[in-house]
Amino acid sequence: MAEEVIWNSLHGIPDGPDCGEEKKLEKRFVESIDVTGINCLDLGFNYGWWTWLLLKNIGKEGKVYAWEPNQFLYENYLSKWPFKNLTGYNYALSDRKGEQDFHIYSDSGRRSGWNSLEKISDAELITIKKIKTKTLDDWWKENNQPDIGFMKIDCEGHDLKILQGGDQMIRTTRPGYIVIEQQDSDVTKILENLNYTDHHEHSDIGLADSIWKYNIQSNKQ
């Protein structure tokens, strides 16, 4: 049963594209960096592709912490993955702790991956519900401030607020890489102020998401 759940996660469901070429690039990138033994954050688990890539490469000492506030994806996939070095959470990360509106575009299937704390202007909305939110800094302090070596953020337009809520954790732990979907001037400003650069040996790999690397040679902290 566990193998079937993982298979279904990684291959998605048959109502949309497989994004095979993008997955190949992501796989090549993860395998080209050393994540052995480190703690990794997957912010926006979805069907688990990035979590799977990280689990395959971190070894026995590494850990993956994954967030998926989408009830369908959490209950059918993340909560059923049977790995001892994976911890999953069903609340949303943001820039503040409390409750926020969660916009529901589908109760199931691939389109449920659009569900977000952000309103998508041209998408048909089913309903809005309140969900629990925390900041990354909240989580970090509650879990004894672990070292973090890698972060992937893909939360349907809410990435900037997640960065804002994780400022202390990022400044302290200095993850080697942050892969992020949202690409705008506000995200760029925050990451540059945190001493990250998007000009490095992996810049031209061709990912749709941007790859930011901690700039050791220009440490502003």
Q: pLDDT tens digit string along 135-153?
A: 999 999 999 999 999 999 9
| pLDDT tens digit sequence for 52-96 | 999 999 999 999 999 999 998 999 899 999 999 999 999 999 999
Q: Is residue 31 part of a domain?
A: yes
Q: Is residue 125 part of a domain?
A: no
Residue 14 above 50 pLDDT? no
Contact 193, 221 (CB under 8 A): no
Sign of torsion over alpha carbons 75, 155, 34, 64: negative
**pTM, whole model, 2 decimals?**
0.90
Which residues form the domain of 174? 2-94+136-218
Q: Is residue 17 part of a domain?
A: yes
Type of residue numbered 133: T
Domain total of the chain: 1
Q: Is residue 214 part of a domain?
A: yes
Kind plus residue range of the DSSP H or E element containing 199: none
Strand 98-104 and strand 92-93: the pairing is: unpaired
Sign of torsion over alpha carbons 163, 54, 148, 143: positive
